[in-house]
Chains A and B, each alone.
Chain A
């Protein structure tokens, strides 16, 4: 999908991609690479003590996938603002659908509403991003 932000109708889905499934080894790798070694994501016993049935995916890992959608699949000048709410726990061994929708556009910026969804369509992360549009022609 490659829909230009400057002409897309408001409300249109601009990009969508499925990532994962995210597995235990992926969490190990993410923990090491990010320095977020919270055992909630690595140690099933700790996760049980915290009230979960198994380790859960780092919210920031999910946000990073939304970040990949913005960076790799959306044509723009640059990212100005990116905000996420972690609505539901992301369980391991499931795929994550990331989707971006155009919600508003000003002269040289656009606002996107993003979602990370579980296979059963539960909203795991609700996010928004403000991007600078590519200005065509002289400036």
Chain B
């Protein structure tokens, strides 16, 4: 199923996330890092931007079946360091939608900007997802 390009520019209302120290510790443990640090690891922006059910909300707004979705590319630009106890405000926006292989593959680019309480950028996260229209979805 094609995704309407009218969704380019779709954005979620900004939301603010408390970077919880306990959650930071659990994330570090989950990726096998036993060194305790208050600093968010390099990929932690993805965790912050995904709070508030925001990733599900974007997929739902696009009308995409989650079983067709693959995360194919991810980019992080780093600003000021993110630490436990920080409040980070996230804005997420669909910045591009395009297809390849006669519509069998649809790519959606989602950009998130993250700012601290001083309005200073702590980073930008850009995600490219692939919607695989060719996958025959077996009935559940």
Name A's B-contacting residues (CB within 8 A).
19, 26, 29-30, 32-36, 38-40, 46, 48-51, 59-61, 63-65, 67-68, 70-72, 78-86
Is the beta-carbon distance between B29 and A70 smaller than 8 angstroms?
no
B66-80 with Cβ < 8 A to chain A:
66-78
Stretch at the interface among B43-51, B88-96, B101-109, B114-122: B43-51
- In the complex, number of A-B residue pairs with CB atoms less than 8 Å apart: 102
B29-62 with Cβ < 8 A to chain A:
29-33, 35, 41-43, 46-47, 50-51, 55
Is the beta-carbon distance between B30 and A33 smaller than 8 angstroms?
yes
Nearest chain A residue, comparing its CB with the CB of B49: A35
Is the beta-carbon distance between B75 and A83 smaller than 8 angstroms?
yes
Q: Give the residues in chain B near A60, CB-CB below 8 Å.
A: 43, 46, 71, 74
Is the beta-carbon distance between A85 and B73 smaller than 8 angstroms?
yes
Q: Give the residues in chain B near A39, CB-CB below 8 Å.
A: 66
Size class of the contact patch on chain B: 35 or more
Q: Give the residues in chain A near B67, CB-CB below 8 Å.
A: 40, 46, 49-50
Is the beta-carbon distance between A70 and B42 smaller than 8 angstroms?
yes
Given contacts A51-B135, A81-B77, contact A67 B71 (CB under 8 A): no
Q: Give the residues in chain B near A67, CB-CB below 8 Å.
A: 31, 41-43
Q: Give the residues in chain B near A61, CB-CB below 8 Å.
A: 31
Nearest chain A residue, comparing its CB with the CB of B27: A33
21 A-B pairs with CB atoms under 8 Å apart are A29-B30, A32-B30, A33-B23, A35-B47, A36-B46, A36-B47, A38-B69, A49-B137, A49-B140, A50-B135, A51-B136, A59-B74, A64-B43, A65-B32, A67-B43, A68-B31, A68-B41, A71-B41, A81-B77, A83-B73, A83-B76
Q: Give the residues in chain A near B29, CB-CB below 8 Å.
A: 29, 33
Which of B32, B51, B81, B136 is packed against the most chain A CB atoms within 10 Å?
B32
Nearest-neighbour CB distance to chain A for B81, whole angstroms, equals 8
B26 on the A face (CB < 8 A): yes
Nearest-neighbour CB distance to chain A for B134, whole angstroms, equals 9
Which of B43, B55, B140 is packed against the most chain A CB atoms within 10 Å?
B43
Nearest chain B residue, comparing its CB with the CB of A28: B30
Q: Give the residues in chain A near B50, CB-CB below 8 Å.
A: 34-36
Nearest-neighbour CB distance to chain B for A97, whole angstroms, equals 15
Q: Give the residues in chain B near A83, CB-CB below 8 Å.
A: 73-76
Q: Give the residues in chain A near B51, CB-CB below 8 Å.
A: 35
CA distance A36 to B66 in the complex (A): 13
Given contacts A50-B68, A63-B43, contact A34 B32 (CB under 8 A): no
